[in-house]
Structure formats: structure tokens, C-alpha cells
Amino acid sequence: MRQGAWKWVARVAVVLVILYATLFGTVALAMMQPPARFGRIMRHMPGMLVWMLLPAPTMWQWARQGDLKEGDAAPDFTLHTQDRSSQVTLSSYRGDRPVVLVFGSYT
């Protein structure tokens, strides 16, 4: 009887480990997708479970580390201003002053 109970505990433990590994793997893979696809996957995930059970900030930092490193040449770009009245080119500040870039969106 006692041995049977332990077997039962071991089975539950195995199932929990498999469930955790599946959750971890799914979220890790999702984090490596382009943002729009990642969002579409996360929409169907149990948010609280993900944030409470997984080391999500660490996983996110790893998945979104990107290729650019400090000391690398900053990729140049020319973008429209918000009102689309003019354009700004990053390299136009070269030899002049540093540039702070704040990436973000509304939501």
C-alpha cells in the first residue's frame, strides 16, 4: 500500500515536470518569434501561470538580447517625424552629439 502511494506520487511528479517543461518550452519558443507572432501566441496563454511559474524576465532578456552590442556601430536609419513633416537621419549627428533613442509604443 505504502509502495503504491509512492508510485502515485512519482507519477504525479513526472506529469508535473512534463507540463512545466512544455510550458517553459512553448513560452521560450514564442519569445523568439517576431513581436506580432509572439503577441498572437501569448494571447492564448494563461498569463498569470506564465509569470508566476516561469523565470519570465530572465527568459525574455535572453530571447530579446538581439545582435547589437555596446561598442558596435549603430545601424543608420532615416525616419519620418511623427507628424510626417520632416525626416531625421541618425548619422547626421555623427561628430556632433550623442543621440538617445527611446523605443516604444502606446499600448
Partner 1 sequence: MPDLNALYKKYRDRAAFYVVYIQEAHPVDAWQIPSNVKDNVLEASTTTAEERSHVAGKCVKNLGIEIPALIDAPDDRVERAYTGWPDRLYVIDAEGRVAFKSAPGPFGFEPADVGAALEKMMGPATPAPEGEGGV
CB contact set of 80 (below 8 Å; sequence gap of 6+): 86, 87
Part in contact with partner 1 (CB under 8 A); list of ranges 7-15, 18-26, 83-91: 83-91
- Applying CB under 8 A, does 103 fall inside the site for partner 1? yes
Which grid coordinates are listed for 90? 541618425
Part in contact with partner 1 (CB under 8 A); list of ranges 1-9, 17-25, 75-83: 75-83
53 exposure class (CB count in 10 Å sphere: 0-12, 13-18, 19+): middle
Quick one: 11 or 64, whose CB is closer to partner 1? Answer: 64
Part in contact with partner 1 (CB under 8 A); list of ranges 5-13, 15-23, 98-106: 98-106
Interface residue with partner 1 among 4, 5, 6, 81 (CB under 8 A) is 81
Helix (H) or strand (E) holding 88: strand 87-89
- Applying CB under 8 A, does 48 fall inside the site for partner 1? no
CB contact set of 38 (below 8 Å; sequence gap of 6+): 30, 31
Quick one: 3 or 85, whose CB is closer to partner 1? Answer: 85
